[in-house]
Structure 1
């Protein structure tokens, strides 16, 4: 396993925070207790990323498929989201952290949308860690929306189909202007990306752990960073080419 030195840190970490419900069930507590405990784990990872100088942290908080969960759980999750925004936005601002919410926020209702807009506005000019929360987000929809925007430009004669490049499509997606994730982490033992940033994870290093999200502490995060530090990212090149470029 590698050493997560500053030279080998990822610029952008993306995390699927899985296992809240199982964490609660193991303790014979309601599922929502797991979600509350998961908020504390979020605080820890945000703090660690800010301290290490990681540029972007993207967290998958609520997928577009999560509306299928029991109505009571969804309602409680929305309340928890709103409460977290109210309590944490000013703390993020005080720590020079910028907050951005990606996903179809219209489904959240006007009150929560206002909270989101307020938190984003408060932190917009901060220059430290950029914290991105994916809420009511789906990777396929993200890609489809970008394709629709390009199709409209072509239909209106403002774009030649031959000029469509990966960069053009990416500019219409939720992470516009941000580097793609270098490291993807999924807790809870499942080994899939679950429709999360499917375009942006093309060359991302994947890391899966059995640890349930509420138990994902600083040592667990260090283990993930250490795994990343020990990998050789070739991007289509040979190992010899990469090592030669590293030497100078």
Structure 2
């Protein structure tokens, strides 16, 4: 049976973990003759729509690049608005997260966020910890190089203290010291607004992810566009460095 009558794909053809770089909010606003902050507000509406669809389709995890560690360089008024918008989202979407059986997570250096924002993050995580549906992970104050650096420092400290030998450091151990510990690697990485770069996002985790880029800016990224990305993913052959495809075009 297909996961959705609209997408018409069997669940096993869908990615287990989708990561999205939500780009183009400010650009969309400028093109519409609006303030940049209006693009971010519209972008939150799309987050709600895509999260609901991912949960409905039975996708295991959705990770959204919400605020990078480099975004602090933006004008203070815009940063303040983004943080206020994020806090509002945490509070307003909490009932819907619970209703949809979504497990909520935040990855990134949260200690650098405002205390009231951290409090709302922790409340949403604690309330949804027992949910068994979609895992929604928001990357906030996130940078992949910082993530890897934090993991290396942690492991180096263990070596220095004598609780870990250098030869005992494996890829699995490094993976388990990243912010995403316990999460599957992304199968599909989507980027909106036609940008062809990774922007310091999940560098370790996307080693074998399929990339999909659309010219559509995030405020216009609707379920129809999301479905197209999923269909294109399902049509690709993934060999993971080998000669035999583990997935292929639907019907193959």
TM > 0.5 fold call: yes
Contact 1:3 1:230 survives alignment (8 Å): no
Displacement of 1:4 in angstroms is 3.8
SS in 2 for 1:185: strand
Which of 208, 217, 233 is the equivalent residue of 2:213? 208
Which of 223, 229, 233 is the equivalent residue of 1:224? 229
1:142 aligns with 2:147: yes
Which of 35, 45, 64 is the equivalent residue of 2:50? 45
1:123 aligns with 2:102: no
Contact 2:236 2:247 survives alignment (8 Å): no
Where does 1:1-248 land on structure 2 (aligned, <5 Å)?
A: 4-239=9-244, 242=246
Contact 2:238 2:247 survives alignment (8 Å): no
SS in 2 for 1:237: coil
| Cα separation, 1, equivalents of 2:19 and 2:54 | 11
Contact 1:3 1:229 survives alignment (8 Å): no
Displacement of 1:5 in angstroms is 2.8
Contact 1:189 1:211 survives alignment (8 Å): yes
Single out whichever of 196-205 and 2-11 deviates more from structure 2: 2-11
| Cα separation, 2, equivalents of 1:7 and 1:178 | 18
Please list the CA deviations of residues 206-239 of structure 1 after superposition, one character each: whole Å capped at 9, or x if unmatched: 0111000011101100110011001111011114
Which one scores higher on RCO, CA 8 angstroms, separation ≥ 6? 1
Q: How many aligned positions are there? A: 244
* Structure 1 residue runs without a partner (length 5+): none
| Cα separation, 2, equivalents of 1:207 and 1:23 | 20
Displacement of 1:108 in angstroms is 1.7
* Structure 2 residue runs without a partner (length 5+): 1-6
CA RMSD of aligned residues (A): 1.8
Q: What's the TM-score once normalised by structure 2's chain length?
A: 0.93
Q: Tell me: CA distance 1:74–1:53, structure 2 relative to 1, closer, same or farther (3 Å).
A: same
Displacement of 1:102 in angstroms is 0.8
Please list the CA deviations of residues 51-73 of structure 1 after superposition, one character each: whole Å capped at 9, or x if unmatched: 11100000000000000000000
| Cα separation, 2, equivalents of 1:228 and 1:10 | 8
Partner of residue 3, structure 2: none
SS in 1 for 2:193: coil
| Cα separation, 1, equivalents of 2:176 and 2:157 | 15
Q: Which runs of 4+ in 1 moved over 4 A?
A: 241-244
